[in-house]
Each structure stands twice: as C-alpha cells, then as structure tokens.
C-alpha cells in the first residue's frame, strides 16, 4: 500500500538513495533538507516525479506535515562537516529528534532514527553488539556527533515508553557509494579522490586501525526492512558489513582499482579516532532477514566510477 513518507536529510548521500528506493516502491516522498551537506544535485533526477517533493527546512525547527512514516537521517555525518559547527550538529541531533518525534506522536507515524556506530566510541568490545554501552568521550572534538546521536536514541526510547510512539532505531556503520561528497573527509571518498588526482593517500597513525564498509544499496535495504518490521522490533539494530579492513588494506585496494601511482603518507592520529570498528549483525539477520551482499571490490569499483564521472563534469 502506498504511503506518504518523510525523509529528513533527504538530499544527502544516504537520503537521496533512500528517496529513490521509496519512489521505486510506489510511495509519495517528502524530502526535507537544509542543504548544509546535502545537495540538490543528488535528487535532481527525481524532480520530475509527481510523487516527489523537496522542502528546504532545518529540523531544529518544528515541522507540520501529514505523513505515515518518518526516516530521520538529518545530521552531518563526517568529522569535517560535524566539527565545522559542533553546536549546530548537537542541535540537529537533539532538537531534530524532539521535533520529529513530536511530529510522529501527533500524526501517529512510525519513525526511524538513523543512529551511528559512533555511539560505541572507541570500543573495548569487538565486534560491537547492540547490548554494548560504548566508551565515549563526552567532551572531545567528536562528542557533538557521538553524544548527540546517543541523546537522540535516549529520546526515541523515552517517547516510545512514555507516549507509545512507534520507533525504529538503527546504528549505521561506515557506508560508502555514489553521491558521497568528495570533500567530506570520510576515508573512502578521501582515498578515491586522492588516488584519482595522483596525490599521496593520507593515512592517520600507522594505518592499522580497522573499519567495516557497507555499500549504500545494502544499507538502504536494511533501513527499509527495519521500517517495515513488526511493531515489537524497536532496535537498536546494527546495520553494516562485518568484513573488517585496515586502512592500509583499503588504501592499497583503492590504488589497485584506480591504477593510481599514489604513495601512502602517514599523519598523526586525530583525537578520539576509534582503533577498530566492526558490527555484530546477528540481530539484523534474525529480525530483519538482512545481510550485506555487495563485496568491497564491487562497491569500490562503482564508487570510483561515480567520482570519475563527477570530476569529468567539473573539467
């Protein structure tokens, strides 16, 4: 059955792919974005669809619309962007959650929170399970994002317990793919952009810290599966690819796939940068029947192709 669905942060990397998927499923989609990190280019190909609407709006202010489902994705997600204005980042997570939960309460909508693996901080448990409470610095340079997302989770579960709001919470691990911002400071886009430009590839620390990379199409499948799961499934549920790579391995794979002559350049490790990150996804497997399907080589090849096309347009 067709629904009217609100996607906050809908012109961003993940949001634009989600809007595309929801339209393909026959729904009406309201894309809300303040275009701080999102861009109209990401959703330009959807503008001609009569079931798609774009609204410039900042979720730190209330929104009054009629919808059946809300995907709350609004928040800068890369360190470069969320540290640019840390107070606004925190407001987006906290005030944005309050406003979207208030909307869900008023109209009886199901609401999904795009939380993050950063709620686990620099983890002492590996891989990270949903029952792990995390190890987070509350006053560091990354805290505006990490603690903002943790507070948003608290709000979601309090609105659920106190007001009966139908909530879904997912913790998203590193995701990559076409429409990533070339200057967002995330490791996959950084490495690809540097390799394509023939620049040194920047590694922080010894490059032995690990991440797990999920291709965007797999992540979107997980979001949709979570939203449409039975009411008793609230989460939090990890969504990510459990295959773990060191930063050196990722850099070498990018160099191989681009045919670049880039060299590796080591820089000091940023404050509070997690040493390892890998999701335990047994809950997603059992409750959502979800698992990632796209391997890193396939995903990187598609992402590299996107950046090549993007740079060709800019020439």
For the residues of 156-171, what is the DSSP string, one character each?
Answer: HHHHHHHH---EEEEE
Structure tokens at 304: 């590299």
Count of domains forming the chain: 1
Q: Which contiguous run of DSSP H or E holds residue 298? A: helix 296-314
Q: Are 308 and 196 in contact (CB under 8 A)?
A: yes
Report, as an integer, the average pLDDT of 145-152. Answer: 95
pLDDT of residue 16: 98
pLDDT of residue 32: 98
Q: Structural domain of residue 113, as residue ranges?
A: 4-179+215-242+277-293
Residue 136: which of 117, 119, 148, 124 has the closest Cα? 119
For 152-185, b where at least 16 C-beta lie within 10 A, e where not — what string? Answer: bbebbbebbeeeebbbbbbbbbbbbbbbbbeebe
Structure tokens at 231: 């009411």
DSSP reduced 3-state for 209 = coil
pLDDT of residue 26: 97
Per DSSP, the residues of 274-297 read: -S---B--HHHHHHH-------HH
d(CA 252, CA 174): 18
pLDDT bracket for residue 101 (50, 70, 90): very high
- Residue 87 included in any domain: yes
Output the furthest CA–CA distance in the chain (Å, rounded).
58
In 145-242, DSSP assigns E strands to 167-172, 175-176, 201-204, 210-212, 214-215, 237-239
- Residue 127 included in any domain: yes
pLDDT of residue 312: 82
pLDDT bracket for residue 197 (50, 70, 90): very high
pLDDT of residue 90: 94
pLDDT of residue 78: 65
DSSP reduced 3-state for 215 = strand
Percent with pLDDT over 90 in the chain: 81
- Residue 227 included in any domain: yes
- Residue 272 included in any domain: no
- Residue 122 included in any domain: yes
pLDDT of residue 269: 77
pLDDT of residue 199: 93
- Residue 311 included in any domain: no
CATH number, residue 61? 3.40.50.720
DSSP-assigned letter for residue 231:
T
- Residue 156 included in any domain: yes
- Residue 309 included in any domain: no
Residues designated as active site? 145
């Amino acid at each position: 059955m067709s629904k009217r669905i609100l996607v906050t942060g809908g012109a961003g990397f993940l949001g634009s792919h989600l809007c595309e998927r929801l339209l393909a499923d026959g729904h009406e989609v309201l894309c809300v974005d303040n275009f701080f990190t999102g861009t109209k280019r990401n959703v330009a190909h959807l503008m001609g669809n009569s079931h798609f609407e774009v609204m410039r709006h900042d979720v730190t202010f209330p929104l009054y619309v009629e919808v059946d489902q809300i995907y709350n994705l609004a928040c800068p997600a890369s360190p470069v962007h969320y540290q640019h204005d840390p107070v606004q980042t925190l407001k987006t997570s906290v005030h944005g959650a309050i406003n979207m939960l208030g909307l869900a309460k008023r109209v009886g909508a199901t609401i999904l929170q795009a939380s993050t693996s950063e709620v686990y901080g620099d983890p002492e448990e590996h891989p990270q399970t949903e029952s792990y409470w995390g190890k987070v610095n509350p006053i560091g340079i990354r805290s505006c994002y990490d603690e903002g997302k943790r507070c948003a989770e608290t709000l979601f579960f309090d609105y659920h317990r106190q007001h009966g709001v139908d909530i879904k919470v997912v913790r998203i691990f590193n995701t990559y793919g076409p429409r990533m911002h070339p200057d967002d400071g995330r490791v996959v886009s950084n490495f690809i952009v540097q390799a394509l430009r023939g620049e040194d590839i920047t590694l922080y620390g010894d490059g032995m810290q690990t991440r797990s990379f999920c291709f965007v199409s797999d992540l979107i499948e997980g979001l949709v599966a979570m939203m449409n799961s039975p009411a008793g499934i609230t989460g939090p549920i990890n969504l990510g690819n459990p295959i773990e790579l060191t930063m050196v391995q990722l850099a070498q794979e990018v160099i191989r796939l681009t045919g670049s002559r880039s060299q590796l350049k080591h820089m000091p490790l940023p404050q509070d940068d997690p040493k390892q990150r890998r999701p335990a996804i047994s809950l997603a497997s059992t409750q959502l029947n979800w698992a990632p399907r796209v391997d890193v080589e396939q995903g990187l090849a598609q992402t590299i192709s996107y950046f090549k096309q993007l740079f060709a347009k800019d020439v």
